[in-house]
Chain A
Amino acid sequence: MNNPFTLFNKTILVTGASSGIGRSIAINCSQMGAKVIITGRNENRLQQTYIDLEGNGHEKVIADLTDLTQLKYMVVQLPKLDGVVSNAGIVKSLITQASEPKDVDDIFKINTFAPINLIQFLLQAKKLNRNASIVFISSISGVYCGAVGGSLYGSTKAAIDGFAKALALEVALRGIRVNTINPGMIDTNIFDDTSLSKEQFDEDVKNYPLKRYGKPGDVAYAAVYLLSDAAEWVTGSSLLIDGGYTLK
């Protein structure tokens, strides 16, 4: 049977693949037949993702994407790509009153500048095949809603959504598609060091009509769809995946 969601014969780059959403996306892409190139900063954890990939021919790159030299070097080494998932990012719960210019720089460097620089270099090095698919992992925060302590995080994500829309227009001529996925709270260890208590988390879960936080897989399946030919007429969209959170 013809499977429109297959990623067979596609080469896909996934950034921030050592944990959480990125790890799940990388593994799911490999299970759907893709050749996956994963990046991450932590060698041990990236290796764990690498081991868990299905099939052969995958690659891993240890790189700090906020370092322009490393980023450029990585892009030059890459094969031609059919898909890019820009996922690497951090969450920082910081109220505006307590934040300083350096906090703005730090979070924008990782969440916004590095993803934009990555696309700049990929286009300049002509690493994207015709009909490639670019997926940014954004957020509901800053795009569909706000959160206390999330002014900086939300603005990094809103910037990505804005970037994606114009980029989608620019690359459409080559059949390249650009979309964002905007998840609600996903249960990953990215939240281990936030300032929410267990009770606050439990209380917050009640705000989700589907009665749970998201799982990395919820985002990964959407990424597989957007990367596949099933989504070949989908570009410039922001795919909301939030268990109904922003309905209220």
Chain B
Amino acid sequence: MKEFIRNFANQFDDTDITEFESETKFRDLEEWSSLTALAILNMMGKKYNVTIKADEMKKANTIQELFNLLQSKM
């Protein structure tokens, strides 16, 4: 999970790393956009070899929930 948060945070350029915790609602982050969403999807494909569709990703609100979704597909 720690590593996932680091990978998640790495897709952002201007948001401080301390803002990323397992319960962070990532869509509330100021830097969140369709581009960062695509970056996260690409990251999960690359680092974890898991393809998650944008529609599936919508079910997750926190980083933890997204991680759970990722793990369910690993």
Contact = CB atoms under 8 A, between A and B. Distances in A.
Nearest to B58: A197
Given A95-B35, A148-B34, A148-B35, A200 B42 contact: no
Interface residues of A, number: 15
A42 interface: no
A196 interface: yes
Contact of A95 (B42, B54, B58): B42
Interface string B23-59: 0000000000011011101110110000101110110
Interface in A59-78: none
A197 B59 CA distance: 12
Q: Is the interface of A mostly helix, strand, loop or mixed?
A: loop
Contact of B38 (A149, A193, A198): A149
Contact of B42 (A94, A193, A198): A94
B34 A200 contact: yes
Contacts of B53: 193, 195, 197
B35 A200 contact: no
- Range of interface residues on chain B? 10 to 19
B42 A197 contact: no
A6 to B, nearest CB: 43
A197 B41 CA distance: 12
In this complex, the member of A98, A148, A198, A200 whose beta carbon has the largest number of chain B beta carbons within 10 angstroms is A98
Given A148-B34, A148-B35, A200-B34, A98 B42 contact: yes
Interface of A: 93-95, 97-100, 148-149, 193, 195-198, 200
